Structure 1
Amino acid sequence: MKNNIVLVMFLFLFTVSCNTNPVEKPEKLLSEDEMVAMLYDVAILQIAENRIISLPTNFKQNEYIYTKYGIDSLLYTQNHKYYAAQPKLYKKMHDKVLKQIEAEINEISNSEKQNKDTKVEEE
């Protein structure tokens, strides 16, 4: 009898824990597409800041993101945590961001190659 009670409690807890997201849904949940766009913008801004160009000293990345998406730091954090608590979906979202970045890199590379080819033909 004791074993049955323990088994039922274990199954109940296991079922409840597997079926719920441990992070509460934000009051303003960004759609998956909006979150992908925001993650993309954050990635581009970080790349720009760290590698490619120097941004104006008064440029604040976070404020830019908050303004663009109509959110504040709390909603940003809540949305980020909500999606991060769903590893498969979050990975899928980051894969989309990576594909976008790779597509832009390829586009830039092709454009540079075409410019070089055009210059060689002109000479």
Structure 2
Amino acid sequence: MKKVTLLLFAILTISCAEKVIEPPQDLIPKEKMVEILHDLAILNATRTSFGSVLEDNDIEIMDFLFLKYEIDSLQFSNSDRYYASIPLEYQSIYEEVESKIQKQRTSLEEAKKSRNDSIRKVQEAEKDTVNVKKEDPTPSSN
């Protein structure tokens, strides 16, 4: 039984590491693919909240990305299919995308907190100024 389990494990390991699809001639490099998929995720989230703005300005997300990254739909599709044929590589790409999104989220939350702290400090300073004026009226010269 141990030999059968070991054999199945070896076959599974080899099949996961084997390239099922040959890399296309115009394969998008992994780093660029991460950038494209990151932007795609952000733009798709934007479409959920601000879809009418995109429509009003005739912005097609995929056309925008193809233009920005100087690629075409066939190159993107072939590259995506190639990376998907290597599950560990594909997972690594999406983990990098997720990491970039998380870093942006953290940065935005910190900026928002900093902005709120600044507003609070200004409001407290204004209150202090008002309180000082109420407590310490300027003496009149009579």
TM range (shorter): 0.7 to 0.9
Structure 2 counterpart of 1:117: 117
The 8 Å contact of residues 28 and 76 in structure 2, kept in 1 or not, is answered as no
Distance 2:54 2:45 in 1: 14
> Runs of 5+ in structure 2 lacking a partner?
1-10, 124-142
Structure 2 counterpart of 1:56: 54
Structure 2 counterpart of 1:108: 108
Runs of 4+ residues over 2 Å off in structure 1: 17-20, 53-56
Offset at residue 24 of structure 1 (A): 2.6
Structure 2 counterpart of 1:65: 65
The 8 Å contact of residues 19 and 85 in structure 2, kept in 1 or not, is answered as yes
Structure 2 counterpart of 1:41: 39
Structure 2 counterpart of 1:91: 91
CA radius of gyration, larger in = 2
Distance 1:42 1:122 in 2: 38
Equivalent of residue 21 in structure 2, options 17, 20, 23: 23
Offset at residue 20 of structure 1 (A): 4.2
TM-score (norm 2): 0.69
The 8 Å contact of residues 34 and 94 in structure 2, kept in 1 or not, is answered as yes
Offset at residue 73 of structure 1 (A): 1.1
Instruction: Tell me the alpha carbon deviations over residues 33-57 of structure 1, each in whole angstroms, 9 at most, x when there is no partner.
Output: 0111111111111111113x33321
> Runs of 5+ in structure 1 lacking a partner?
1-13
Distance 1:20 1:99 in 2: 27
Structure 1 counterpart of 2:77: 77
- Give the aligned residue type for 1:119: I
Q: State percent identity of aligned pairs.
A: 23
